[in-house]
Amino acid sequence: MAVEVGVARETAPGERRVALTPETCRKLVKAGATVRMESGAGASAGFPDSDYTDAGAQVVDDGHRALASADIVACVQAPDAVRLSQMKEGAVLVGLLQPDADASRAAEMQARKLVVFPLERLPRTTRAQAMDVLSSQAGMAGYKAVLIAAQLAPRFFPMLTTAAGTIRPSRVLIVGAGVAGLQAVATAKRLGAQVEGFDVRPETREQIESLGGKFLDLGVSAAGEGGYARQLTDEERAEQQ
């Protein structure tokens, strides 16, 4: 019996992403799965219903039909109470679920005996790299953040030389050199700004400088295990500020 995969439209305000692209649907269908997409689920991400139909997915009129018999439900953000009530007991739910953010939602997931896979909790290991959703989303966030900053800034990012004089480039400080921060450094540099980057992990100096930024060294080191930063002590936090 074929595994059924269901995807409904995202309900979070402003959310335009979709859990499955037509390309992914095609791979699932080829593997023998039945994929049901709610009509319009991918529209905001640039994927019309026809793309999913061409990929072999079934496009249904509403979210209930997409989720009611699904063995696996894929989502971007955690479903609301209505969506959860439409899933069958024991279904597998995969997405950026943040179960600790809403106790009532977590209780509803437990009551419906859902098997929940919060992708934001995947460990940073080599074997898990193929399932790493945070890095791609963080990279886009860093890129978009700089574009928004450039739009709202009271002056131009690059140096401009005109007949009326020379405009000096903006100075940009990026706090944190994770995936989002490094993407922000690269984007601000490409826009012509003078970029400085700061992180409590000394090993990020080389990464920031490789992108054309200047490392801001405040003498605070808080490198932790697995590439993460540990929590700062009160003294270190005061020194940083």
User: Rounded CA gap, 7 and 28, in Å?
Assistant: 13
User: Rounded CA gap, 30 and 39, in Å?
Assistant: 21
Residues in the chain: 241
Whether 135 sits among the annotated catalytic residues: the reply is: yes
In this structure, what are the phi and psi dihedrals at residue 209, rounded to the nearest 5 degrees? -70, -30
Q: Look at residue 164 and give its three-state secondary structure.
A: coil
User: Rounded CA gap, 88 and 72, in Å?
Assistant: 10
Whether 44 sits among the annotated catalytic residues: the reply is: no
The catalytic residue among 135, 137, 221, 240 is 135
Got the DSSP string for 4-42? EEEE----STT----S--HHHHHHHHHTT-EEEEETTTT
The catalytic residue among 85, 129, 136, 210 is 129
The catalytic residue among 71, 132, 137, 205 is 132
Taking a C-beta distance cutoff of 8 angstroms, is the pair 73, 92 a contact? yes
Which amino acid would we find at residue 14? G
Taking a C-beta distance cutoff of 8 angstroms, is the pair 212, 168 a contact? no
Task: Output the six-digit token pair for 19.
Answer: 């859990």
Whether 129 sits among the annotated catalytic residues: the reply is: yes
The catalytic residue among 168, 171, 210, 228 is 228
Whether 199 sits among the annotated catalytic residues: the reply is: no
Whether 207 sits among the annotated catalytic residues: the reply is: no
The catalytic residue among 16, 121, 124, 230 is 124
Q: Please list the active-site residues.
A: 124, 129, 132, 135, 228
